């Protein structure tokens, strides 16, 4: 497939005054960072892109098909979605929870095939959760539970992965580890979209950033194109200095207030 062909497309999407006339298109092979202040509409946009909420006007397309016309089981083979909060009070073990990511592949008897069991094993391993496989989700720490959510999405095996603040509860090691893994997956041909508040990590690992402000796209492009001092002042109301770290070579965002 032509990598520049938008796999997932939002066309003039509006939602109850929360999103206004949002048009975006993303191709496989990219890690996209969705940034913006609290209440800007990031979660709403991801829910709409995942087909969990429907736009009040406009449309979402997965390649040439309207997303809302694709049955849930087929959609699950195409895209995975991690909500902002992984449920706490559930009785399932970590393994059972990650297995739910494979629901589209369950046999008519509800069992998992070999490929699914292997996908679950690998995802638990990748997220360093193998030793918790028989522990109930409610017994995990916030960060461990978030990693279980990411494991469930990765186990799903779909080429589009939408993650709402996947690193918000993670320690520094896992923040970097997860972003590196997502970047690698994206560059192997996945389309990955993450809502993220850490602007420096977003700049470092994402190929493209979308800056949302009051439900509209304020800027969309490469990290240096989007992260400008004026844009951050306009959107976050914080004066910042943006510069390239002379030692690391990465963008730094320094608060001036
Ligand atoms: N179903 C809904 N109907 C109407 N308004 C909603 C709905 N869901 C969310 N909102 C409102 O939309 C706004 C944007 O919410 P959203 O969760 O998308 O923001 P966000 O950018 O993800 O914020 P945060 O960084 O705090 O997670 C909020 O003011 C919220 O109250």
pLDDT tier for residue 5 given thresholds of 50, 70 and 90 = low
Q: What is the mean pLDDT of residues 150-159?
A: 96
pLDDT digits (tens, 9 = 90+) for 155-169: 999 999 999 999 999
pLDDT digits (tens, 9 = 90+) for 208-242: 999 999 999 999 999 999 999 999 999 999 999 99
Indicate whether residue 18 lines ligand 1 (CB < 6 A): yes
Distance 94 CA to ligand 1 centre (A): 29
Indicate whether residue 216 lines ligand 1 (CB < 6 A): no
- Report how far residue 177's alpha carbon sits from residue 169's, in angstroms, rounded to the nearest whole number: 13
pTM: 0.94
Structural domain spans, the chain: 8-255
Q: Give 26: exposed, middle or buried? Use CB within 10 Å, 0-12, 13-18, 19+.
A: buried
pLDDT score of 82? 95
Q: Whose CA is nearest to atom 12 of ligand 1?
A: 18
Rounded to the nearest angstrom, the gap between the alpha carbon of residue 86 and the centroid of all alpha carbons in its chain is: 13
Q: Whose CA is nearest to atom 18 of ligand 1?
A: 41
Determine how β-strand 30-35 pairs with β-strand 208-213. parallel
Indicate whether residue 40 lines ligand 1 (CB < 6 A): yes
pLDDT score of 253? 93
Architecture of domain 8-255: 3-Layer(aba) Sandwich (3.40)
Statement: residue 2 has pLDDT above 80: no
Distance 84 CA to ligand 1 centre (A): 11
């Amino acid at each position: 497939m032509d990598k520049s062909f938008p796999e997932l497309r939002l066309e003039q999407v509006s939602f109850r005054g929360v999103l206004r006339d949002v048009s975006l298109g993303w191709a496989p092979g990219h890690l996209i960072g969705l940034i913006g202040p609290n209440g800007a509409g990031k979660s709403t946009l991801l829910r709409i892109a995942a087909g969990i909420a429907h736009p009040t006007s406009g449309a979402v397309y997965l390649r040439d098909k309207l997303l809302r016309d694709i049955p849930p089981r087929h959609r699950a083979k195409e895209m995975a979605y991690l909500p902002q909060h992984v449920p706490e009070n559930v009785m399932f073990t970590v393994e059972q929870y990650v297995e739910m990511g494979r629901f589209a592949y369950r046999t008519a008897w509800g069992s998992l095939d070999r490929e699914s069991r292997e996908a679950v094993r690998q995802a638990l391993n990748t997220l360093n959760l193998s030793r918790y496989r028989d522990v109930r989700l409610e017994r995990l720490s916030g960060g461990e539970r978030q990693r279980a959510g990411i494991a469930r999405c990765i186990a799903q095996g779909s080429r589009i992965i939408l993650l709402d603040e996947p690193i918000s509860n993670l320690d520094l090691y896992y923040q970097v580890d997860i972003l590196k893994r997502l970047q690698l997956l994206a560059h192997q041909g996945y389309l990955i979209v993450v809502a993220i508040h850490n602007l420096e990590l977003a700049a470092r690992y994402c190929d493209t950033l979308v800056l949302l402000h009051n439900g509209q796209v304020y800027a969309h492009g490469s990290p240096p194109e989007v992260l400008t001092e004026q844009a951050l002042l306009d959107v976050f109301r914080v004066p910042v200095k943006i510069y390239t770290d002379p030692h690391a070579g990465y963008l730094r965002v320094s608060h001036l207030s």
